[in-house]
């Protein structure tokens, strides 16, 4: 089991895990969905199918602390419990965000069209030196806003985190989650992870293949595409704000002209 990174603590009052993986939904939170026909993307060749389902995932840094805090603080008590292993209070979440080590760890996020952070993943790397005789490990945790559920964002963030860890020479991806957190454990199992349950808690280990030229190219492409997507959303937001401002000015001028005509 991975030791909690000292500079990336979970805001826990006791020996809670440093990062507890979670999509923020329990396994039985909703009834099973009826089977659907295969989406059109399933009929595409593997390469095009991958990019047709692509989700822009952006690396986050120190300047995003406020947005990360806003995302986590917006989670209701149940989701906080699944994310951290207990119902973290506001001050505990803020402390967790304030101590995120962006120089060592990788924090990933998904933004909506309004540039609101709707999903966040934390890939915490073990501080050096590693324990002798044990493979290098990284711990994964994730949260998804309630309004963004059911779109596979948790799985996408897990895949991107695994790719990043692989390219950093990490052998094993580790997840510590509550046993009732079915969605997170399902993501791990589907990826091929070994899951062990110990009462109310479960641990999962996913062995990662060694990095390759292809894996580094894939990560670079995803990083640049996500940055381009974010900048496009930012410009569209600014343009829409400009249009709204022009419309507001025209409305005010129209009212002023109407009053002048009556006088």
210: domain CATH number? 3.40.630.30
- Mean pLDDT, to the nearest integer, of 137-159? 93
Sheet holding 58-60, edge to edge: 58-60, 106-111, 117-125, 137-144, 172-178, 201-207, 194-198
- Supply 95's token pair: 């402390």
pLDDT of 223 = 82
The alpha carbon of residue 133 and the mean position of all alpha carbons in its chain are separated, in whole angstroms, by 31
pLDDT above 90 for 108:
yes
232 in a structural domain: no
17 in a structural domain: no
pLDDT of 9 = 42
249 in a structural domain: no
pLDDT above 90 for 15:
no
163 in a structural domain: yes
120 in a structural domain: yes
pTM above 0.85, yes or no: no
How many domains does one find in the chain? 1
4 in a structural domain: no
Return mean pLDDT, the chain: 78
pLDDT above 60 for 82:
yes
134 in a structural domain: yes
- Mean pLDDT, to the nearest integer, of 1-25? 42
Domain residue limits at 89? 40-222
pLDDT above 60 for 27:
no
pLDDT above 70 for 1:
no
pLDDT of 135 = 66
Higher pLDDT, 112 or 254: 112
Distance CA 100, CA 15 (A): 18
116 in a structural domain: yes
Question: Quick one: pLDDT band at residue 219, thresholds 50, 70, 90?
Answer: confident
pLDDT above 90 for 68:
yes
- The two counts, helices (H) then strands (E), for the chain are 7, 7
pLDDT above 50 for 28:
no
């Amino acid at each position: 089991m991975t030791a909690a990174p000292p500079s990336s603590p979970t805001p826990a009052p006791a020996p809670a895990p440093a990062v507890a993986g979670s999509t923020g939904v329990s396994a039985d939170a909703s009834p099973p969905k009826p089977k659907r026909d295969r989406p059109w993307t399933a009929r595409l060749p593997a390469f095009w199918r991958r990019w047709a389902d692509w989700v822009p995932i952006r690396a986050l840094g120190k300047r995003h602390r406020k947005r990360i805090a806003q995302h986590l603080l917006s989670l209701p008590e149940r989701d906080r419990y699944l994310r951290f292993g207990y119902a973290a209070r506001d001050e505990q979440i803020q402390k967790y965000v304030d101590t995120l080590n962006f120089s060592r760890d990788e924090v990933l996020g998904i933004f909506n069209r309004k540039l609101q952070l709707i999903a966040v993943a934390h890939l915490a790397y073990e501080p050096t030196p590693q324990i002798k005789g044990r493979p290098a490990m990284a711990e994964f945790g994730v949260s998804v806003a309630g309004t963004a559920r059911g779109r596979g964002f948790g799985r996408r963030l897990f895949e991107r985190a695994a790719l990043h860890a692989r390219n950093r020479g990490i052998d094993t991806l580790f997840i510590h989650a509550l046993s009732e957190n079915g969605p997170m454990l399902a993501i791990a199992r589907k990826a091929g992870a070994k899951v062990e349950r110990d009462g109310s808690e479960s641990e999962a280990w996913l062995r990662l293949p060694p990095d390759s030229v292809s894996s580094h190219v894939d990560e670079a492409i995803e990083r640049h595409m996500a940055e381009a997507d974010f900048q496009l959303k930012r410009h569209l937001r600014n343009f829409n704000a400009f249009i709204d401002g022009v419309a507001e000015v025209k409305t005010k001028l129209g009212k002023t002209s109407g009053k002048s005509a009556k006088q």
